[in-house]
């Protein structure tokens, strides 16, 4: 890294907006399905990245439909609400007319879920709802970044599927992981007490539902965006050779832990286990910072406005001005957020230090995402 930069750049608009207003003018939030002030129904339109205030718009067939409130009826596109709205998933997403005509009743996010947990088990409905809420956050960001997000019903060969499984009381444990486009998640991870115990046991400072989902999609997008493409040589140069025996690498990691210098090369200790895990952890980290900056910028906050004289990453490390602005904004914003956390007496919001090598890896993720959008 070079000296502190003397100039600041214009703050970019969020890729995926997170601040919204109801037709009544009151603020509403990504998760809301109803305005708490005027009780107008709300729905998230994923293709637009907007939470819309809705009003009834019956179709010619007499079936119920919805349109954006305040838009002239002749110009307002019609929507349907996700069939999971009144389920434990409590989904507030919308389907557009093309999805309805194709016969879909579930939104883009809900139809990624191939297997729902056994809802007859205690707490299963609560945990399923928590997972779907985290998944909606993830999927909205993936769509905003322009990444391919299709279910198996829409793309049988390359589509993404989630199996949300809950182990029976006397049965084998569920192993969270990814295999050829299918992400399996142990639904009990949605239990805060169990997840916290595992977090301490495994020494993972950012073990959350959203973190799990972001990590596992990293494996999926490696198969989509890296393995069959011209990115693979550059990927191997930074992340290593994925042909190393994966099972042996994990056994070694769990037996001996991360190398003492892991912080100089990886975004997390677990990333040192194998090149695939290095990629998945770095991918998840990239999604963390992009979505958090999007949220901050949506509400008028940004690292570019923070009064911290950190040593900024510069072109001597990465010759990409857009990425440098992203990573430097992130470092300065998290510096303030960590201080806010300490003021509340809780753990640091961002308990990581990014090394130069980790930033180079994040930059490759950024380039691959930008390439997929193009």
Per-residue model confidence as pLDDT tens digits over 197-242: 776 676 666 678 999 999 999 999 999 999 999 999 999 999 999 9
- DSSP label of 34: B
Within-domain flag for 43: yes
User: Cα–Cα distance between 166 and 174 in angstroms, integer?
Assistant: 7
Residue 264 near residue 258 (C-beta atoms within 8 A):
no
Domain assignment present for residue 90? The answer is yes
Total structural domains within the chain: 2
User: Do residues 237 and 352 both lie within one domain?
Assistant: yes
What mean pLDDT do residues 67-82 have?
91
Tens of pLDDT, residues 318-372: 999 999 999 999 998 998 899 999 999 998 999 888 999 999 999 999 999 999 9
Give the residue with greater pLDDT, 259 vs 57.
259
Same domain, residue pair 104 and 212: no
Please give the structure tokens belonging to residue 154: 């829409």
**346 occurs within a structural domain:** yes
- pLDDT confidence tier of residue 24, bands split at 50, 70 and 90: very high
Residues in the chain: 374
Is position 192 within any domain?
Answer: no
Q: Residue 194 — very low, low, confident or very high, per pLDDT cuts 50/70/90? A: confident
Is the torsion defined by CA of 293, 129, 142, 83 positive or negative?
negative
Instruction: Please say whether the dihedral angle defined by the alpha carbons of residues 352, 355, 361 and 365, taken in this order, is positive or negative.
Output: positive
103 and 221: one domain? no
Is residue 54 in a domain?
Answer: yes
Residue 143 in any domain: the answer is no
Chosen domain end from 108, 133, 159 = 108
In a domain, 142, yes or no: no
- Return the percentage of the chain with pLDDT > 70, whole number: 91
Q: Is residue 141 part of a domain?
A: no
Q: What is the pLDDT of residues 269-320, one digit of tens each?
A: 999 999 999 999 999 999 999 999 999 999 988 766 666 667 889 999 999 9
Helices (H), the chain: 97-101, 124-144, 192-202, 209-221, 232-239, 246-256, 275-298, 321-343, 356-373
Boundary-marking domain end, from 108, 129, 147? 108
pLDDT at 262: 96
Question: Model pTM?
Answer: 0.93
Residue pair 284/137 in contact by the 8 Å Cβ criterion: no
Q: What is the per-residue pLDDT for 308?
A: 66
* Angstrom distances, CA of residue 71 to CA of 29, 38, 76, 93: 21, 18, 6, 19
At which of 55, 80, 108 does a domain end?
A: 108
Domain interval for residue 281: 208-373
Q: What is the pLDDT of residue 200?
A: 66
Residues 232 and 101 in one domain: no
Cα separation, 135 vs 124, in Å, equals 16
């Amino acid at each position: 890294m070079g000296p502190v930069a003397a100039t600041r750049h214009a703050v970019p608009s969020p890729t995926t907006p997170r601040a919204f207003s109801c037709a009544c003018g009151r603020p509403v939030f990504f998760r809301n399905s109803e305005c708490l002030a005027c009780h107008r129904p709300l729905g998230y339109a994923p293709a637009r990245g907007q939470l819309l205030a809705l009003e009834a718009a019956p179709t010619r067939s007499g079936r119920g439909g919805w349109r954006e409130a305040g838009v002239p009826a002749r110009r307002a596109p019609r929507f349907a609400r996700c069939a999971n709205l009144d389920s434990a998933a409590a989904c507030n997403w919308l389907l557009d007319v093309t999805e309805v005509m194709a016969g879909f009743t579930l939104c883009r996010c809900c139809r990624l879920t191939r297997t729902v947990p056994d809802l007859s088990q205690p707490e299963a409905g609560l945990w399923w709802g928590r997972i779907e809420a985290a998944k909606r956050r993830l999927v909205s960001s993936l769509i905003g970044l322009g990444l391919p997000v299709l279910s198996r019903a829409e793309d049988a060969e390359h589509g993404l599927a989630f199996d949300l499984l809950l182990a029976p009381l006397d049965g084998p444990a569920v192993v969270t992981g990814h295999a050829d486009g299918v992400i399996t998640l142990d639904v009990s991870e949605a239990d805060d007490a169990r997840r916290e115990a595992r977090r301490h046991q495994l020494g993972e400072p950012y073990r959350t539902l959203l973190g799990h989902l972001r990590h596992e999609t990293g494996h999926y997008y490696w198969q989509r965006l890296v393995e069959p493409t011209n990115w693979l040589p550059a990927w191997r140069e930074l992340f290593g050779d994925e042909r190393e025996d994966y099972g042996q690498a994990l056994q070694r990691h769990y037996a001996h832990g991360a190398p003492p210098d892991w912080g100089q090369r990886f975004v997390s200790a677990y990333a040192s286990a194998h090149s695939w895990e290095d990629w998945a952890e770095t991918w998840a980290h990239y999604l963390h910072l992009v979505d958090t900056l999007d949220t901050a910028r949506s509400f008028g906050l940004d690292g570019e406005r923070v009064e911290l004289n950190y040593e900024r990453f510069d072109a001597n490390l990465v010759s990409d001005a857009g990425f440098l602005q992203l990573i430097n904004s992130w470092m300065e914003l998290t510096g303030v957020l960590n201080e806010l956390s300490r003021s509340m007496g809780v753990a640091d919001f961002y308990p990581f230090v990014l090394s130069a090598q980790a930033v180079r890896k994040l930059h490759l993720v950024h380039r691959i995402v930008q390439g997929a959008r193009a």
